[in-house]
């Protein structure tokens, strides 16, 4: 073909188009959409015989796992969500109740023992570094044996703990900015919510909190707010069966949020989607999805999702 001006121009245009498509497909491969997967949605440390697993929430940002809280069963739930344990990279603890941190040490251990582990960065309130140290001494015999006997790296060097004791920016990289907000969870004062601002979505995780209007400000215009919730008739039924009913009821009322107040927070924050999680009580199958969300809808008219384990939003 003789290259006249017209052919030349279309050849140049063709090159530009295919070059642009190529660039687009490369950038699509490089930046994967942010995924939110609920791993465990049952509030409280008691291990249920069936149903909801203890609290943990997973974000996959550009395919890198960011785990928020790790109650009992988190390793298994991570696997059930299709994420190999040794891919664990970032861990965030909201506060030091055991339903949020019981599997902190075991997760790092499981990551180490499962193959070539990634470096793990863990963020949370004061006490986290001591917990890591205590866990490694708890398993010192096993760890030291395997390092020598199996030629494994030292797991103590694979974990970096970052403690913070006031709200603000927790970490930032090319994919996401993570910030924290102090919430109300007496008697614990170091209790935080986290906000993840990724390129495509902003997601807020409330942690455990009583009604906290400052959380609405923190979650302003977020795409998704994952908020804890407590259903009063269910709590009444639960505490009636227990010997420490009065004290437990007082603690729950002071430290958690009723559906109506969750609705107020979501409405004030003007979030697009509200996800209910950390259900209290979390193992009463008689409470329906409508009952969980009915109070919420009095104030919030956006999309409400009643969370389930392994649900992706």
Q: Name the residue nearer to Zn ion (CB basis): 43 or 124.
A: 43
Nearest to 306 by CA among 28, 14, 52: 52
For the purposes of burial, counting CB atoms within 10 Å of the CB of 49, is it exposed (0-12), middle (13-18) or buried (19 or more)?
exposed
Q: Least Å distance between CB 96 and Zn ion?
A: 8
Q: Tell me: cis bond preceding 187? Omega within 30 of 0 counts.
A: yes
Q: Least Å distance between CB 216 and Zn ion?
A: 20
Q: How many C-beta neighbours within 10 Å does residue 294 have? A: 15
Q: Least Å distance between CB 99 and Zn ion?
A: 4
**Beta sheet of 224-230, edge-to-edge order:** 168-172, 176-182, 192-198, 202-205, 224-230, 273-280, 303-306
Q: Tokens for 81?
A: 């969500």
Query: 3-class SS at 35?
Result: strand
Q: Tokens for 34?
A: 């942010």
Q: Name the residue nearer to Zn ion (CB basis): 103 or 175.
A: 103
Q: Name the residue nearer to Zn ion (CB basis): 125 or 155.
A: 125
Q: Least Å distance between CB 41 and Zn ion?
A: 11
Q: Interhelix angle for 259-269 vs 289-297, to 10°?
A: 50
Q: Name the residue nearer to Zn ion (CB basis): 40 or 43.
A: 43
Q: Give residues in contact with Zn ion (CB under 5 A).
A: 43, 97, 99, 208
Q: Least Å distance between CB 43 and Zn ion?
A: 5
Q: Name the residue nearer to Zn ion (CB basis): 111 or 206.
A: 206
Q: 243-260: buried (b, 16+ CB within 10 Å) or exposed (e) per residue? A: eeeeeebeebeebbbbbb
Q: Name the residue nearer to Zn ion (CB basis): 54 or 202.
A: 54
Q: Name the residue nearer to Zn ion (CB basis): 99 or 283.
A: 99
Q: How many C-beta neighbours within 10 Å does residue 135 have? A: 19
Rg (C-alpha) for the chain, rounded Å, is: 23
Q: Name the residue nearer to Zn ion (CB basis): 301 or 308.
A: 308
Q: Least Å distance between CB 182 and Zn ion?
A: 14
Q: Tell me: cis bond preceding 281? Omega within 30 of 0 counts.
A: yes
Q: Tokens for 285?
A: 């199958």
β-bridge partners, 64: 61
Q: Least Å distance between CB 293 and Zn ion?
A: 20
Residue 115 in contact with residue 89, Cβ under 8 Å? no
Q: Least Å distance between CB 69 and Zn ion?
A: 8
């Amino acid at each position: 073909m003789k290259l006249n001006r017209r052919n030349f121009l279309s050849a140049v245009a063709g090159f530009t188009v295919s070059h642009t498509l190529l660039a687009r497909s490369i950038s699509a491969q490089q930046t994967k959409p942010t995924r939110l997967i609920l791993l465990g949605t049952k509030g409280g440390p008691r291990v249920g015989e069936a149903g909801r697993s203890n609290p943990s929430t997973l974000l996959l940002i550009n395919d890198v796992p960011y785990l928020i809280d790790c109650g009992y069963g988190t390793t298994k739930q991570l696997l059930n969500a299709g994420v190999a344990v040794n891919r664990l990279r970032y861990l965030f603890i909201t506060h030091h109740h055991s339903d949020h941190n019981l599997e902190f040490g075991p997760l790092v251990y499981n990551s180490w023992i499962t193959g070539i582990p990634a470096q793990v960065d863990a963020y949370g309130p004061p006490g986290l570094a001591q917990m890591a140290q205590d866990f490694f001494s708890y398993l010192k015999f096993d760890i030291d044996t395997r390092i020598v006997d199996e030629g494994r790296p030292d797991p103590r060097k694979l974990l970096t703990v970052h403690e913070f004791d006031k709200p603000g920016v927790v970490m930032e990289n090319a994919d996401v900015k993570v910030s924290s907000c102090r919430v109300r969870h007496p008697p614990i004062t170091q209790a935080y919510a986290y906000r993840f601002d990724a390129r495509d979505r902003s997601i807020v995780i409330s942690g455990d909190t009583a009604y906290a209007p400052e959380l609405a400000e923190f979650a302003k215009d977020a795409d998704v707010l994952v908020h804890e919730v407590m259903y009063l008739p269910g709590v009444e039924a639960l505490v009636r069966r227990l010997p420490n009913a009065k004290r437990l009821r007082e603690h729950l009322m002071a430290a958690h949020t009723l559906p109506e107040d969750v609705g107020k927070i979501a409405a004030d924050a003007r979030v697009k989607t509200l996800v209910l999680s950390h259900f209290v009580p979390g193992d009463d199958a008689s409470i329906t999805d409508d009952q969980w969300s009915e109070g919420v809808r009095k104030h919030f008219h956006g999309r409400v999702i009643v969370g389930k384990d392994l649900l992706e939003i």
